[in-house]
Amino acid sequence: MMAKGTHGWILLATEDLDGTFERVHASGAEVAQEPMAQDYGVRDCAFRDPARNLVRIQERR
C-alpha cells in the first residue's frame, strides 16, 4: 500500500504526441504541461493521475 502521489512519475512514448495529448486531455485528465520541445531534445507533455502522480508522454522519433 502506498500513499497517494508517492510513486512519483511514469514515462510513456507515442508516435503522435499531439493526438495523444488531445485524447487524454478530452478525457478530463489534469494537464501538468502541454506539448513542448525540451532543451534536451525531447518533445513531451505531462498529466497528473487521480493519485497526483506525474505521467509524462514523450514523442518517439
For residue 61, the model assigns a pLDDT of: 82
* Architecture label for domain 9-59: 2-Layer Sandwich (3.30)
Of 53, 24, 23, 57, which is closest to residue 38 (Cα–Cα)? 57
pTM of the model: 0.84
Structure-block grid coordinates of residue 12: 510513456
Q: Per-residue pLDDT tens for 13-48?
A: 999 999 999 999 999 999 999 999 999 999 999 999
pLDDT score at 21: 98
Domain extents in the chain: 9-59
> What was the pLDDT predicted at 1?
52
**Which residue type sits at 30?**
E
Of 49, 47, 51, give the one whose Cα is nearest residue 4.
51
d(CA 27, CA 49): 12
Cell of 27: 478525457
